[in-house]
Amino acid sequence: MFANLTEKLQETFKRLRNKGRLTEADVGEALREVKLALLAADVNLKVVKEFLARVRERAVGQEVLQSLSPAQQVVKIVFEELTSLMGEENARLSLGGRPPHVVMLAGLQGSGKTTTAAKLARYLKGQGRQPLLVAADVQRPAAVKQLQILGQQLGFPVFAMEGAAPPAIAAAAVKGALAQGRDVVIIDTAGRLHVDEDLMAELEDVYRAASPGEVLLVVDAMTGQVAVEVATAFAARLKLTGLVLTKLDGDTRGGAVLSVRSVTGCPVKFVGMGEKTDALEPFHPDRMARRILGMGDMLTLIEKAQENFDSAQMEAMQKKLRSAEFTLEDFLTQLQSLRKMGPLDQVLAMIPGLGGLKKNLPAQVDEKDLARVEAVIHSMTPEERKRPAVIDGSRKRRIARGSGTAVQDVNRILKQYEQTRKMMKQVAEMGRGKRRLPF
């Protein structure tokens, strides 16, 4: 996500820092580079022009040009304007008043509505809610079955009525929710390959039947400007309260994230960061701006760690890191735990200054990777696990033979151990306030 945009922006700001003092011409040249980077990321042209106009107005002021660190001031301005562009602050779900609280999901076919419904149910359960999933997509073959399977995996009931129309299904689900002890109703509606009148009419009927407090449009971020066009079309017909951008973990240029709120006026409330049901994050504009600028996202990382590590485990690991006792056995344990937090490249990208390490780590850690790491570490002596520095060439060959791997595998695992040790140490130091976040 945003890899190319982040790289280009960082190159531009690096050139500014190398200049020391800035002139208005320097700022103008930098903003031309920013413009090209944003357009390459598929950001809406009108949005780009308005964004650059605001940045230019602030960046060519005397306060910036005459400051001791003008380049840093320009980066700060870009960060603040990116945050403003995406909505200033986290837009939460509105679940006030008497239950049941109804959340209706809409979107085109293939945008990920059904999976998002399950993800949202899991997220809300973590907030103390008792969600009911409603299978109101009777158009797509197996849509009902897919939702039922997801509901069964997560332990959520799924309401379905064979042969009934979507408005009747939605109304019946809302009416019977409280009797089932459910305070939130999540309605999965049908989509089409293209926005058409039949789809919109059906969605309006479901809306009238269920009276949802939240209408979330699920949009595939990988479609770029098409995502913005789809959001605009839906916003013209439905009372949208928020957007969910899916597939942000894929090969997406990020333009939809930066464009959609400005064009539609509708806030992004969640982003999908993977296929698993725990890969749904509340959208924080300031945190996303940090990711785009390569500053990391420590707040989200800390929240993920709190979800996957108990306090005693985290405290014990911090003590080990402070005393430089992070061993290869600890590495194996942490690798297994980090996998629960998502792909390692995403985790590393959240840590300021460590995003580059993802080039040397596997994007995904699967069972085969863990089995190989486990076999290598278990083939070491207790001393080697505690003091990896003693592992020379002959020891590596012995470990490789004992684990059924190659010496190259042993070297790679030792390198990953050292990088992870440094990463974990920095996380521990940030947690103790030794390093300040940007701005």
Which CATH number characterizes residue 59's domain?
A: 1.20.120.140
Give the global pTM: 0.70
Report yes or no on 92 lying in a domain.
no
Same domain, 145 and 285: yes
Contacts of 344 (CB under 8 A, 6+ apart): 338, 358, 361, 362, 363, 364, 365
Q: Residue 219: helix, strand or coil by DSSP?
A: strand
Q: How many domains does the chain have?
A: 3
Q: What is the pLDDT of residue 218?
A: 93
- Nearest-angstrom CA–CA distance, 121 and 144: 16
Terminal C-alpha separation, the chain: 23
Q: Within 13 A of 404's CA, how many CA atoms are on the CB side?
A: 4
Q: Which domain holds residue 81?
A: 3-86
Report yes or no on 181 lying in a domain.
yes
Q: What is the CATH number of the domain that holds 307?
A: 1.10.260.30
Same domain, 345 and 281: no
Report yes or no on 371 lying in a domain.
yes
Q: What are phi and psi of 152, to 5 degrees?
A: -65, -40
Q: What is the pLDDT of residue 436?
A: 42
Going by C-alpha positions, the residue among 337, 343, 360, 363 that lies closest to residue 414 is 360
- Nearest-angstrom CA–CA distance, 235 and 229: 10
- Nearest-angstrom CA–CA distance, 46 and 297: 28
Same domain, 192 and 250: yes
Same domain, 274 and 375: no
Which residues of the chain have a pLDDT value below 70?
1, 62-68, 194, 250-253, 296-324, 335-368, 423-439
Report yes or no on 93 lying in a domain.
no
Report yes or no on 207 lying in a domain.
yes
- Nearest-angstrom CA–CA distance, 431 and 318: 9
Same domain, 220 and 359: no
Q: What is the pLDDT of residue 165?
A: 95
Phi/psi-derived region of residue 274, left when phi > 0, alpha when psi is between -120 and 50, beta in every other case: left
Q: What is the pLDDT of residue 191?
A: 87
Q: What is the CATH number of the domain that holds 220?
A: 3.40.50.300
Q: What is the pLDDT of residue 207?
A: 95
Same domain, 226 and 306: no
Rounded to 5°, the CA angle 193-194-197 comes to: 125
Whether the CB-CB separation of 193 and 107 falls below 8 Å is answered with no
Same domain, 78 and 109: no
Going by C-alpha positions, the residue among 182, 190, 187, 156 that lies closest to residue 170 is 187
- Nearest-angstrom CA–CA distance, 76 and 439: 7
Same domain, 285 and 303: no
Same domain, 110 and 48: no
Query: Alpha helices of 113-222 — where are they, by DSSP H?
Result: 113-126, 143-154, 166-176, 197-210
- Nearest-angstrom CA–CA distance, 183 and 365: 37
Whether the CB-CB separation of 216 and 244 falls below 8 Å is answered with yes
**Which helix (H) or strand (E) covers residue 325, if one does?**
none
Q: What is the pLDDT of residue 177?
A: 94
Residue identified by tokens 């863990």 is 370
Report yes or no on 94 lying in a domain.
no
Tokens linked to 49: 């022009």
Name the percent of the chain in helix, strand, coil, to the closest 5. Answer: 60, 10, 30
Contacts of 158 (CB under 8 A, 6+ apart): 132, 133, 134, 135, 147, 148, 151, 152
* Cα distances (angstroms) measured from residue 339 to each of 65, 309, 343: 45, 12, 6
Quickly list DSSP for 359-418: GSS-SS--HHHHHHHHHHHHTS-HHHHH-GGG--HHHHHHHHHHHT--HHHHHHHHHHHH
